[in-house]
Chains A and B, each alone.
Chain A
Amino acid sequence: MATIDTLHQDMMEWLINETDTVYSLPLIYERLTEVINHPRSSIADITMIISEDQGLTARLLKLANSPMFGFFSKIDTIDKAATIIGTQQLQALALAVSVMEVFTGIPEGLVNMKSFWQHSIACGIIARTLAIYHREINVERVFAAGILHDVGRLVMLTTIPDIVKELIVESRDEESLLFRTEENRFGFTHATVGGGLLANWKIPESIAEPVGCHHSPAAAKKFPLETSFIHMADIICKALGIGCNGEPFVPPLEPSTWERMDIPAGSLVEIVRHAEQQLEETLAILGESAP
């Protein structure tokens, strides 16, 4: 067994390393992180770094003015966005946007990328709405984790597209969940791969762990609540049929996550309706990055 486990571990490391060599996180994210955490940094420093990337700046400003934030007046500069939305929140948004930009040029066919990002963004919005409802402090992190939760599947699609194709067919034929098929084949799932990649990129664990454990929420040790939001949001998106991530079936709900979130069942309708109102415009803003 140990040899098989090691084999699986090696396989996953290979996948991540392979991805890391082809796709790397933009340097801008690293610099942003450093400035935000610096005790002497000012809004001006942060604004300066973001402004270097015109595309990022434009997308962030659009997001800041979208219904997702619903700020009462127009946010027309990054420094205003930084003061109003918050630097850490801006950082998380920048991460999500940057990662989406990384994975361009993935061959179409197996999975429609537009549809893939639709699912991911919807998941991010719903997870963020759940977090807002829960009065979490940094909801943009949950938003970013939601958007990035299936990044592992992108890794697989770019590195082992043939095997992924086989798995999808197998899953459809046998009417079993795709991530279960993955687990049977590799001993790990796309979730684990995604979590591994983000950790490799030194993305904060509050984002990496929920991504890595979104199909096995019980395994989340440090951020179980954030993981629960992603797990729940993923299921809601699949159930509502928003976008497609390659998974043909709706994954089962882990009862412990429901208990942890402690949200009245009646509120779920309100949460989903609230999220739907933001969906279209956010998709328009972020969906552009998808090829």
Chain B
Amino acid sequence: MNAAKVAIDRVTYLEERVSYLEEANCNYVALLDMLTSCSDFQADLNRDKSVEGIYRATLAQLGRLFPFQGMGILENKDDNSFALAVCEPSSCWNSLSIDIDAAIMDGTFAWALNRNQAISVPSANGNHTLLFHVIATQTSIRGMFISRLAGKNRSIDAPTLNTLSSILLTSAYSLENCNLYTILREHSQNLEEKVQERTNELLTARYMAEAAARELKISNEQLCNEIAERKRAENELIKAQKLESLGVFAGGIAHDFNNILTSILANLSFARMQIPHSHMIARRLEECEKATVRASELTQQLLTFARGGEPVKKLIDPVPIVKEAASFVLRGSSVRSRLDLPDGLWCVEADGGQLSQALHNLLINAAQAMPDGGEVTVRGENETLETDNSQRLPAGAYLKISVEDSGCGIPEENLSRIFDPYFTTKSQGSGLGLASVYSIVKRHGGTVGISSRIGEGSIFDIHLPASPGNQPTGVAVKEAAELRGAGRILIMDDEDFIREIATEILQYMGYEVESCADGREALERFQKARELNNPFSCVILDLTVPGGMGGKEAAAHLLKIDPDAVLIVSSGYSNDPIIANYKNYGFNGAIRKPFDADTLARELAKLIPKSN
């Protein structure tokens, strides 16, 4: 009986075992099926790059694992708060939310976050069991899985729970990948933007570099121009130096030539004096004299540039000078002159020779502007300038002389340069004409201006300080007889032919004449004459004596011997400052070589009293 009971118990036990093992086996097979389907789950996760897609796939897979009443996933937000993101079925959203709130309140939720396993607790109302499982990778918590199981204190068997854990781990890694992928995409986008930005910057930099290169090219061109300009200036300097040495050379020649001209002029004038005016030769001699004077003017011009001249100012009437210049320059050319010189033009303090030279040059320039002929107008005007006038001259009275041609005109770009020395547009020009006009007018305290129009002509205006009301002391033309004088004259000149003709002229005039070749001899003779009580009335001293004592030094010595000595300086260098300011050097008068008999006689007549 007992044995039978034992046997029955045994059979019951074994039947129970068999049923348990069968059930367990079924369960394992189901689990294996579920695990097999995990490859599909993996594919879903890989396919879906969105967080929500991963949540959905995870819930679907877990639904296959166990018949949960309801499931949901809470997302871990950036601020570490949790919010229900998806739920399955969607109808249980509200009830799950209530459960979650309760779990958060009683600390279960926090506990579940820290345990990397399924946590199951009875629900607040006790009707069912809640199962939590954190969704976390090794490095971060991605979310929380929550589900409801029917009945209080339900447990799930270990293999199923382990499978649940591994599915949620997979899901966590997918979420992390998804997140990393998003970050990566953002970074790559940022990178692209940065690359674009840098590209733009580089592009801008390139434009700037190109612009800089262009500027560089421009400044390079400017530099080239500058170099060319300097080259030109250098050439001009060389030209100027050449001209200067030529000037010195010409000056030397002019000096000698001038002495010869002095002899010719003196002889001619002397010859003319000795015959009546009506004599048929007198006319010829006069022409010769004029030609000689012109030749001397030429040498004068050469000397001006050889030395640079200080004007010997005298009060002069501009009208005869203008007339003379116009007739002289335009004679024989196809250019007609129209002179507009009203009566009462003011006189000027000027060097007649230089003023004439300036007018000559302006007229030559005008004539050359009209190679096919035309008309040149010379206009004289009195002008009173106020302060702050357009000429930038001091206020006062001025004589304005305008020379107007109807020629080709001067291009704008050349206007500022026409007065520059050696600037010329003519193949034969020296570039000295207008430059000398400028320097002469300047030395006289005036200005020269130009206005020109291409094809219409040019007007040169000269302003010279005038002396209104004064008239040149008219030296009445005296007959040769009136020029006669008496007295002892000492002539010092290194050129013997000048000494000879001067001696002859003066003797003809009635003077007693001695001559010598240099200053030292002149001193001896002067001293001797005083000792013999037969002093000289006047001493004519040549300024420049090559290799001997010149006029300036001799004058100083003579004045020491006799402070009242009457001294006249003579020189071919009319522009020598001593000639211009002879009084400062103790001279009583100055004679410019070449001189004619008339000039010489007049000068002496002025200085030696008749009574003597």
B158 x A37 contact (CB < 8 A): yes
With A72-B107, A137-B162: A37-B24 Cβ-Cβ less than 8 Å: yes
Please state if A135 and B116 are interface contacts (CB–CB under 8 Å). yes
Residues of A within 8 A of B119 (CB): 83-84, 86
A42 and B116 form a contact (CB under 8 A): no
Kindly name the residue among B157, B159, B166 whose own CB sees the greatest number of chain A CB atoms within 10 A: B157
- A39→B160 contact, CB < 8 A: yes
Chain B positions within 8 Å of A132 at CB level: 116
Shortest distance from the beta carbon of B512 to any chain A beta carbon, whole Å? 134
With A39-B23, A72-B110 as contacts: A88 and B155 at CB distance below 8 Å: no
**Is B137 within 8 A of A135, CB to CB?**
yes
A83-B120, A86-B117, A139-B116 known; A38 vs B153 contact (CB < 8 Å): no
The answer to whether B117 and A44 touch across the interface, beta carbons within 8 angstroms, is: no
Whole-angstrom CA separation of A84 from B108 in the bound complex:
9
Residue in B122, B138, B159 whose beta carbon sits within 8 Å of that of A135 in the complex: B138
Query: Is the interface on chain A under 10, 10 to 19, 20 to 34, or 35 or more residues?
Result: 20 to 34
Could you say which residues of chain A place their CB within 8 Å of the CB of B169? 137
Give 1 or 0 for each of B357-371: 1 = CB within 8 Å of chain A CB: 000000000000000
B365, chain A: closest CB distance, angstroms:
101
Is A43 positioned at the interface, with any CB of B under 8 Å from its CB?
Answer: yes
- Residues of chain B with a CB closer than 8 A to A40's CB: 23
A281 to B111, CA, bound (A): 21
Q: Is the CB of A87 within 8 A of B111?
A: no
Bound together, the chains give a CA A139 to CA B154 distance in angstroms of 22
Residues of B within 8 A of A71 (CB): 111
Q: B165 touches which one: A36, A37, A87, A137 (CB < 8 A)?
A: A137
- B166: chain A residues at CB < 8 Å are 137
- In the complex, the chain B residue whose C-beta lies closest to that of A136 is B116
B161 near A88: Cβ-Cβ < 8 Å = yes
- B118 at the A interface (CB under 8 A): yes
Taking A83-B121, A87-B155 as contacts, is the C-beta distance between A135 and B136 under 8 angstroms? Answer: yes
- Which residues of B from 193 to 244 have beta carbons under 8 Å from A? none
- A42 and B157: CB pair below 8 A? no
Check: B27 CB closer than 8 A to any chain A CB: yes
Least CB separation from A82: chain B residue: B155
A40 to B154, CA, bound (A): 10
The complex places the Cα of A239 from the Cα of B20 at a distance, in Å, of: 48
Rounded to whole Å, the gap between the CB of A31 and the closest CB of chain B is 12
Residues from 72 to 131 in A contacting B, C-beta threshold 8 Å: 72-73, 79, 82-84, 86-89, 91
Alpha-carbon distance between A135 and B159 when the two chains are bound, in angstroms: 19
Give min CB distance, A154 to chain B, whole Å. Answer: 28
Our pick among B107, B111, B136, B153 for the contact of A42 (Cβ within 8 Å) is B153
Q: How far is the CA of A41 from the CA of B20 in the complex (A)?
A: 10
Give 19 pairs: A residue, B residue, CB < 8 Å, sorted on A: A37-B24, A37-B158, A37-B159, A39-B23, A41-B155, A42-B153, A46-B155, A71-B111, A72-B110, A73-B106, A83-B129, A83-B155, A84-B119, A86-B115, A86-B117, A135-B116, A135-B138, A138-B117, A139-B116
10 new A-B contacts, CB < 8 A, other than A38-B24, A42-B153, are: A39-B27, A41-B157, A42-B155, A43-B155, A71-B111, A79-B153, A83-B122, A86-B161, A89-B117, A135-B138
